[in-house]
Each structure stands twice: as C-alpha cells, then as structure tokens.
C-alpha cells in the first residue's frame, strides 16, 4: 500500500525570462513502512524532486503539471499556510548537511522546543520531558546535559541525531532523508543508517532516501529509483537493481563503485550530467552511453516494463509499458 504518490510531475525554473525544464514526468510511489532510495549523480534532480513534496522550492520554480498525493490530498494545490500543517507533522525533512542545519546561536533545547511549540500545546516542563525522551530514542547520551549545548559543541554524528530527533518530535509518517550521511565517517554513517532503519521498523515510518552512495542503498533500501537529467530512468526493488541492472546508466553507476567481493576493474562514467541550460536531442544519456545507437540521438525513449523493472531505454524498444 502506498502512502505517497507522485504522478507526472513536471517543473522547471524561470531564469532571465526563459523557462528551463528540470523535472520531466516524475512518477513513483512510496510504500508504507519502506525505504525508497533515489540515486544518481549530483545534478540529476534527486533533491528538487523531494523538495517538491513539501513545496520547499525556489521562488522562480514553475510547476507545469502533476500531482503529489498524500492521504488523498494533492500537496501541490495547497497554499503556504495549508502546507505548513504537513511539514514536520506528517512529512519531515532531514536536510543534507548536519553541520549547517542547526542555528549556532541557540542551544539544542531552544531549537527543539521551537519544534515542539509548532506541533503541541503543552507546558515547557512537558516539552522538556518529550524532548529528553526523544533524544534517548536517537541514542543521545546524557540528553539532559546536551540540551544546554550549542551546535559547535557537538560532533557531526550528534548533530545528525539532533536533526533526526526534530523529525521524530512531529511524529511524521514520512521522513525525507537528503544525503543523511554526508560528511560523516563510515562508522557514524552506519550508526545513522541503523537508527533510521530502527525508526522504520519500530514506528512504521516510510523513508525517502536521497543519496549517491550505492553501498548504503544496497544495505538499507527496499526499492530504488535511478534518476538522470530530471527523469527516472529505472525503477525496481533493490535486489533486482544490483543483481540485474537494465539501464546503461544504472550499470555504469554500479561499475564505477569499488567492489570488495571481486577484483573487477572500476569503470568511470566519462562526461558530466547535462545542466538545465543544455539542449539535448534524444536520450539525455546517449553522449555517455557505450550502448548508444541511432534512435538514441533523436528520440527520448518511453518507459518500458522489462522483467520486474521499469526502464527508459531504446534497448528495450520492442517492449510496451
């Protein structure tokens, strides 16, 4: 059962009186109690896709079509006042950089207390009890003492746990985790991901995991959507993606990551993700694709059903979806 559906989302930016498409026909469902990973290189459209859910978009954004459905409500139709009822309370965001997401001028208690005031009408004493119990859930040691700390007094891992605590305070049903392990060492990365997995299992929270770290994805996600140039080019469950990738871009991503189980050669992906200013005919990946043939240069492929995958590639042009 899906808790969130994105249907045919198209948006872009107005820059210097010209419109530049950024997201093109984005479709995916987030299932209850599952981790749905969105992967791809920087500039693929991962973060802007998920910021659309909470309407945390630049002022020059124009949504040309689509729906984002949560509990039968199209979030895209809500005004700023109405969408605030969903931010934090229903859908929470773990921002990309734990080092800059907390205000350096306020104590941890002040910042968490502000979150509590947004969602509850309770006394300051009750708020403190709620905050302390939440910090314990995210494995903060000596939480009463930490409340008096400022962000600069905490490690990167501690800051990330504080941010996760913010999401828990609102009792959100969905957590959008945007590169939640950025700038953390591998030991802390594992601790943060285990914490998110624990929250998913114990509270039936659904998680959208935005990342370029395929090692994390292979261990923790249930489903994967691969993005390139503002499009989803492949979708399948995690096991299918890693066991039998179908799209050339998905294969290239996996081949570019070091393997600890065999001695295969690392194959880099040459070239760069196109910018929004680049006008590309055909498949956006064809300039970097070793399987490219004539139709790739002129026609952007439609989605196709290939085994248990949904794939956007001319290699499967004889299949219908």
**Both structure tokens of 110:** 């002040």
> What average pLDDT score do residues 217-232 get?
95
Residue range 38-62, pLDDT digits in tens: 999 988 999 999 999 999 999 999 9
Is-contact 86 75, C-beta < 8 A? yes
Q: Tell how far CA 291 is from the center of its chain.
A: 29
| Confidence tier at 127 by pLDDT (50, 70, 90) | very high
* Bridge partners, 210 (sequence order): 38, 178
| Confidence tier at 229 by pLDDT (50, 70, 90) | very high
Query: Angle formed by the axes of helices 186-203 and 156-169, to 10°?
Result: 10
Buried b (16+ CB within 10 A) or exposed e, 149-170: eebeebebbbbbbbbbbbbbbb
283 phi-psi bin (left φ>0, alpha ψ -120 to 50, beta other): beta
What is the distance between the alpha carbons of residues 182 and 139, in angstroms, rounded to a whole number? Answer: 19
| Confidence tier at 259 by pLDDT (50, 70, 90) | low
Residue range 153-192, pLDDT digits in tens: 998 888 988 998 988 888 899 999 998 887 778 888 888 8
pTM of structure: 0.92
**Both structure tokens of 268:** 């880099």
Three-state DSSP class for residue 106: coil
Dihedral sign for Cα 314, 317, 319, 321, please: positive
Domain boundaries, the chain: 31-60+79-90+177-316, 98-171
The residues near 284 (Cβ < 8 Å, ≥ 6 apart) are 228, 229, 231, 274, 300
The CATH number corresponding to 31-60+79-90+177-316 among 3.90.1150.10, 1.20.1740.10, 1.10.940.10, 3.40.50.300 equals 3.40.50.300
Q: Is 231 exposed, middle or buried (0-12, 13-18, 19+ CB in 10 A)?
A: buried
Which DSSP string corresponds to 11-26? EEEEETTEEEEEEEEE
């Amino acid at each position: 059962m899906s808790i969130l559906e994105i249907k045919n989302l198209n948006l872009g930016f107005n820059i210097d009186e010209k419109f530049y498409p950024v997201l093109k026909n984005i479709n995916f469902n987030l299932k209850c109690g599952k981790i749905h990973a969105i992967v791809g290189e920087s500039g693929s459209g991962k973060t802007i896709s998920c910021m659309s859910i909470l309407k945390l978009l630049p002022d020059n954004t124009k949504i040309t079509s689509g729906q984002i459905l949560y509990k039968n409500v199209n979030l895209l139709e809500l005004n700023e006042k109405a969408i605030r009822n969903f931010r934090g309370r229903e859908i929470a965001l773990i921002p990309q950089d734990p080092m800059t997401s907390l205000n350096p001028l306020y104590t941890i208690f002040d910042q968490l207390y502000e979150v509590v005031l947004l969602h509850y009408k309770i006394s300051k004493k009750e708020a403190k009890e709620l905050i302390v119990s939440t910090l314990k859930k995210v494995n903060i040691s000596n939480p009463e003492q930490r409340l008096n700390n400022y962000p600069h007094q905490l490690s990167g891992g501690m800051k990330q746990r504080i941010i996760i605590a913010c999401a828990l305070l609102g009792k959100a049903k969905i957590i959008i985790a945007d590169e939640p392990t950025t700038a953390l060492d591998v030991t802390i990365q594992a601790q943060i991901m285990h914490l998110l997995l624990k929250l998913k299992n114990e509270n039936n929270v659904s998680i959208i995991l935005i990342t370029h770290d395929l090692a994390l994805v292979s261990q923790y996600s249930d489903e994967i959507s691969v993005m390139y140039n503002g499009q989803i080019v492949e979708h399948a469950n995690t096991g299918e993606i890693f066991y039998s990738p179908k799209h050339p871009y998905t294969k290239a991503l996996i081949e570019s990551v070091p393997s600890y189980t065999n001695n295969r050669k690392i194959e880099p992906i040459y070239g760069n993700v196109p910018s929004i200013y680049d006008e590309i005919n055909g498949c956006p990946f064809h300039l970097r694709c070793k399987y490219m043939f004539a139709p790739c240069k002129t026609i952007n492929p439609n989605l196709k059903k290939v085994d248990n995958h949904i794939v956007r590639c001319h290699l499967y042009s004889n299949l219908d979806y």
